[in-house]
Amino acid sequence: MKIMVVGGGGREHAIIKKIKENPEVTEIFALPGNGGMAKVATLVSIGATDIDGIVNFAKENGIDYAVVAPDDPLVLGCVDRLEEIGIPCFGPRANAAIIEGSKVFSKNLMKKYNIPTAKYEVFSDMEKALSYLDTAPIPTVIKADGLALGKGVIIAFTLEEAKDAVKSMMLDKAFGKSGDNIVIEEFLEGPEVSVLAFTDGKTVKPMVSSMDHKRIGDNDTGLNTGGMGTIAPNPYYTKEVADRCMKEIFLPTINAMNEEGRTFKGCLYFGLMITKDGPKVIEYNCRFGDPETQVVLPLLESDLLTVMKAVTEEKLAETEVKFSPKSACCVITASKGYPTAYEKGYEITFTDEALAATFVAGAKEENGKLVTWGGRVTGTTAVADTLEAAIKEAYRLSDGVKFEGAYRRSDIGKRALQAK
Ligand code: AMP
Ligand code: GLY
């Protein structure tokens, strides 16, 4: 079976490695992939948002099954286009991917169907947004409506910061058209949990829970990033919380999407905050999280491709999705300076055991060498019987990933350990 995976980061590397475990798979194409996955996939230099290019490639190469991993091609309707030419896909259609593509859509959905989330107001007029802030409780949270490379959320701790955030989105267009509409919402507090869930629109099967570490600095300080490391399972996601989430959030969301004529099939990512009033949705993503995938999939004991195809064929109810009871930790190694300006092109070297445990994100092959080519360069994952052991091992293995200016947080998993 010939598989095509759209995307090119550490998440896609983790997906490809797992899919490759299925003995029926003969070849995996990564569009565009990256130099670090050349051993497990055939790299095809077609960008993840080049929908025409992706569709033509699939047609010309007899692709049997496609996985569309990143948000942009999903929101752009990549799955719809591939389905039109008869290629079965894993991932939601555009009309369901909007759950991530528009924050205004997802907030209105939650309000309409009583799904717990932060209280909010929507604005398309800057003056109205600014005068609303004069009466809003501070801290407050300002969100651009559309996709903004994970940077469209600003938490304002003073009125001035809040007003600056509104102006940067609506006047200076810091996120382009994504800032035409904004959401201003209540600031929530509590530990965060990421839950990725398989759903075929009828059944929802949550994967093992995880915890991201979004800030660049230790102890959650400094700028927001795409994620500097993850652990799974998340100790704040107790059985009681999980039961509540299923009843109050997961099933109501699937049903709400069906009700709206936007059946969601694929991986639905619930970004949750466990507040004192119970779990609330911070955000939905229409895809696997990055770097959550790098700890969740190594714990999946069922065959990933079988589960994905069950989602496509709407047979998830009768398909087993089993996770190991072990723990996992992924430590990201980033370029010095990330998430602001950083240099590229430094050679990356690995010890053998680090290479085997590492998912490559921001790298490319140049003259037979792997060089840095992005902010987050690699993610190194270890699985162990306890979270403590997984963290220790992930750090030991990460030390075997070397390049000029390599930066890692030193406290991935520390907060989770304190929860126990
Ligand atoms: P996002 O880009 O939607 O993933 O949001 C980035 C981060 O902002 C989240 O992981 C939370 O830590 C934080 N955040 C978003 N919304 C809220 C909120 N209403 N209250 C507190 N923190 C929030
Ligand atoms: N790690 C957060 C995300 O994938 O959006």
Residues lining ligand 1, CB < 6 A? 118, 141, 150, 153, 155, 185-188, 192, 214, 271, 282-283
Q: Which ligand lies nearest the alpha carbon of 141?
A: 1
The first and second tokens of residue 253, run together, are 């969301």
Q: Which residues touch 334 (CB under 8 Å, ≥6 apart)?
A: 216, 225, 228, 342, 375, 376, 377, 406, 407, 408
Average pLDDT, the chain: 96
The CATH number of the structural domain formed by 192-318 is 3.30.470.20
| Mean pLDDT across 361-386 | 96
Q: Which of 290, 297, 359 to mutate to test the pocket of ligand 2 (most atoms within 8 A of CB)?
A: 290
Give nearest CA residue, ligand 1 atom 5: 153
pLDDT tens digit string along 75-99? 999 999 999 999 999 999 999 999 9
pLDDT tens digit string along 187-244? 999 999 999 999 999 999 999 999 999 999 999 999 889 999 999 999 999 999 999 9
Give nearest CA residue, ligand 1 atom 19: 187
Q: Is the pLDDT of residue 270 over 80?
A: yes
pTM: 0.96
Q: CATH topology for 125-180?
A: Dna Ligase; domain 1 (3.30.1490)
Residues lining ligand 2, CB < 6 A? 150, 212, 227, 285, 289-290, 292
User: With pLDDT > 70 as the criterion, what percentage of the chain qualifies?
Assistant: 100
Q: Is the pLDDT of residue 255 over 70?
A: yes
pLDDT tens digit string along 126-157? 999 999 999 999 999 999 998 877 678 899 99
Question: What pLDDT shows up at residue 412?
Answer: 98
Question: What pLDDT shows up at residue 175?
Answer: 86
Pick the CATH number of 327-419 from 3.90.600.10, 3.30.930.10, 3.40.605.10, 3.40.50.300: 3.90.600.10
Domain borders along the chain are: 2-93, 125-180, 192-318, 327-419
CA of 154 to the centre of ligand 1 (A): 8
Question: What pLDDT shows up at residue 131?
Answer: 95
- The atom number, within ligand 2, closest to the CA of 291 reads 1
Q: Which ligand lies nearest the alpha carbon of 330?
A: 2
- The C-alpha atoms of residue 382 and residue 397 are separated, in whole angstroms, by 8
Question: What pLDDT shows up at residue 420?
Answer: 61
CA of 267 to the centre of ligand 2 (A): 13
Question: What pLDDT shows up at residue 179?
Answer: 83
Q: Which ligand lies nearest the alpha carbon of 193?
A: 1
pLDDT tens digit string along 160-185? 999 999 999 999 888 888 888 999 99
Question: What pLDDT shows up at residue 224?
Answer: 87
Pick the CATH number of 2-93 from 3.40.50.300, 2.60.40.10, 1.20.1260.10, 3.40.50.20: 3.40.50.20
Relative to beta strand 140-144, strand 153-156 is antiparallel
- The atom number, within ligand 1, closest to the CA of 151 reads 2
- The C-alpha atoms of residue 202 and residue 121 are separated, in whole angstroms, by 31
CA of 199 to the centre of ligand 2 (A): 18
Q: Is the pLDDT of residue 350 over 90?
A: yes
pLDDT tens digit string along 28-60? 999 999 999 999 999 999 999 999 999 999 999
Q: Which of 143, 283, 285, 286 to mutate to test the pocket of ligand 1 (most atoms within 8 A of CB)?
A: 283
Whether the upstream peptide bond of residue 139 has omega within 30° of 0, thus cis, is: yes
CA of 352 to the centre of ligand 1 (A): 37
What are the φ/ψ torsions at residue 281 (nearest 5 degrees)? -85, 125
CB atoms within 10 A of CB 140: 23
Cα 189 off chain centre by: 21
